[in-house]
Structure formats: C-alpha cells, structure tokens
Amino acid sequence: MIEIKALTKVYPRGKKKALDSVSLTIPQGIFGLIGRNGAGKTTLMRIVATVMDATGGEIYIDGSPLKDCKDVFRSSLGYLPQSTKLMPRLNIVEFLDYVCIMKGMKEKAERQEKIASVIETVGLVGEEKKRLGKYSGGMLRRAGIAQAIIGDPKVLIIDEPTTGLDPEERLYFLNLLSRIAMERTIIFSTHITADIEHLCKNICILEQGEVKYLGEKEAFVSGIEGKLWTYTGTREDEEQLRRDTVVTSVAYVDGAAEIRYVSNEPIFDAKPATPTLEDAYIHALGGVKR
C-alpha cells in the first residue's frame, strides 16, 4: 500500500504549486488518476517513482517512509513515463536486454527467458526483428510496458499511456493492463474518463494540484444519481441550463442541443439519465466548457 501525505511540489520556475498538500492512499489493484492537462498527474507520478523530489510531504510504502527504503522500492517498481524515447535503432530484444542489464540481471539465459516471456505478454511476438524506430505508437506503448514489467515489479506507474493511440490499440492496451493487474498496484493516469470506466475500482481526481475526489469510482458516479437529466432543446434552453444547473455535456444533433445536466429537480420536460464517470467528472470540475 502506498500512502501519500500532504505532498507539495513547487517547481523552481513554477508560478503556482504543481501539487498542493495532496494526500491519498493507493491500495492494491488498478488506481485511476484523472485530471486535465496541468492538473499535476505527471508531477505526482514522478515523485512516487522517485525520479524527482517533492518540496514537502511524505510517502509511505507499507508503512515505512519511502526515503528510508528508496532502493528496495525502486527494485519493485516499473515506470512508464508519459513521453519515452526508446532507442530507435535497437529491436525489442536488444532493448529489453539492455533494460535487464540495467536492472542488474547478470545471467544471460535468465534474461533471454524473461524477455521472451514479456514479449509474449505484451503481444509483440513476430515483431522481434523490427527496429523500435519502425514501431507504431501502439507497439511502442507495448514495448514501454514490456520494459516496465520485466522484473515482475509489484508496483507499476503508467503515465497517460493511451494518449495518441488509435481505438483498436487503445482497447488492446487497456485489456493488457487488466491482464497484468493481478497482485500488483498499478497507478494509471489519464485525462480520458472512458479509459478507466471499466478498469479501476479506486480513483483520484486531481485538479490544479489538489485532490477533488478520492475513493471508489462507483460512489463517485452514484453521487449524481437521481440528479442527472437529459433534455433536447434550443440554444436558449442551453443558456438557461448553463446558468441554473451544472451542464455535463451538450451535443448538437440536427440543430437541436442534447443537454445533460445535474440539478436536484428537472428543469423543462427533462428525462432522468444514468450517470457515467464522465458526467460525474465534469460535474466535479464545475460543468462542461464551451
């Protein structure tokens, strides 16, 4: 279990706090960290991954301060940064061999066995000869997961892995994550709520360096149950709803506005709607932007 207490980060040239007294507990399983660009997701992940120091606060791993067990924690950690350059001239086997050596695996036969096994796990069998520079975005992300899981780490930190993937690659990737989640803690960040709708039990919503919500996803979504309505009307209706309620989405279909909004009582002739994680998330952020 990872416990984060009052973590604060101020960058040397940062105008405001990138993290402002963030406290959260991350249990086993897949933990979803959601937030818009600039919310502080990467900052938080880099600090937990021990590649950057916090300005203040503490992190505890199974009850011990992280600063006292950094080396042990690092050896049980896999990290996939948001942007990775994976040595374009190497093929996946050469690249993973390099990673294994960096992780201290001295036996060649052991490395070969581990490499073959992760290549299988991430679905890159048959792509061993190709240089990484020739891989697609999805294949690179799988190669990134391969390097992160190769020592069989108990904790995986994965920063916005679905950005830039096409729908098929994205689904493959999300499935892969749920397959490797057993008996691990995976911290997964995204700005796309659909990524974690079916993946995570526990979530944290980060906004401008602060925790907006922490807890079970279902409780978060059911917070607006019975208060979400859908109504199809004019632009004037939309303006009124934007003024008087919290609008979670607007779709324009054939010149009409299909509006979903949160309000204790329905306004206009609205029908009740079933909330999604996206509705709850947009509601927590104060409504959909124009």
Instruction: Note the residues at the interface with Mg ion (CB under 5 A).
Output: 41-42, 82
Q: For ligand ADP, give the closer residue by CB, 14 or 286.
A: 14
Decide: is 290 part of the binding site for ligand ADP (CB under 6 A).
no
For residue 91, the 8-state DSSP code is: B
Contact of residue 18 among Mg ion, ligand ADP, none (CB under 5-8 Å per partner type): ligand ADP
Q: For ligand ADP, give the closer residue by CB, 43 or 276.
A: 43
The two tokens of residue 280 are: 């709850």
Contact of residue 81 among Mg ion, ligand ADP, none (CB under 5-8 Å per partner type): none
Q: Please give the size of the binding site for ligand ADP, defined by CB under 6 A.
A: 12
Contacts of 213 (CB under 8 A, 6+ apart): 203, 204, 205, 220, 284
Kindly tell me the burial class for residue 177, based on how many C-beta atoms sit within 10 Å of its own C-beta (0-12, 13-18, 19 or more): buried
**E strand spans, the chain:** 2-9, 19-26, 29-34, 56-61, 64-65, 77-80, 155-159, 185-190, 202-207, 210-216, 228-233, 246-253, 256-262, 271-272
Contacts of 29 (CB under 8 A, 6+ apart): 181, 185, 186, 200, 201, 202
Q: For ligand ADP, give the closer residue by CB, 18 or 196.
A: 18
Minimum distance of ligand ADP from residue 189's CB (angstroms): 7
275 vs 221: CA distance, rounded Å: 6
- Residue of the chain from 13, 85, 106, 289 that contacts ligand ADP (CB under 6 A): 13
Minimum distance of Mg ion from residue 159's CB (angstroms): 6
Residues 25 to 64 in contact with ligand ADP, rule: CB under 6 A = 35, 37-43
Minimum distance of ligand ADP from residue 220's CB (angstroms): 19
For residue 128, the 8-state DSSP code is: S
Q: For ligand ADP, give the closer residue by CB, 40 or 161.
A: 40
- Residue of the chain from 11, 64, 164, 222 that contacts ligand ADP (CB under 6 A): 11
Q: For ligand ADP, give the closer residue by CB, 40 or 138.
A: 40
**E strand spans, 72-193:** 77-80, 155-159, 185-190
Minimum distance of ligand ADP from residue 23's CB (angstroms): 17
Minimum distance of ligand ADP from residue 148's CB (angstroms): 18
Contact of residue 32 among ligand ADP, Mg ion, none (CB under 5-8 Å per partner type): none
- Residue of the chain from 1, 6, 14, 23 that contacts ligand ADP (CB under 6 A): 14
Look at the block and give the residue holding tokens 């011990």.
64
Contacts of 94 (CB under 8 A, 6+ apart): none
Contact of residue 40 among Mg ion, ligand ADP, none (CB under 5-8 Å per partner type): ligand ADP
Contact of residue 185 among Mg ion, ligand ADP, none (CB under 5-8 Å per partner type): none
63 vs 37: CA distance, rounded Å: 31
- Site residues for ligand ADP per CB under 6 A: 11, 13-14, 18, 35, 37-43
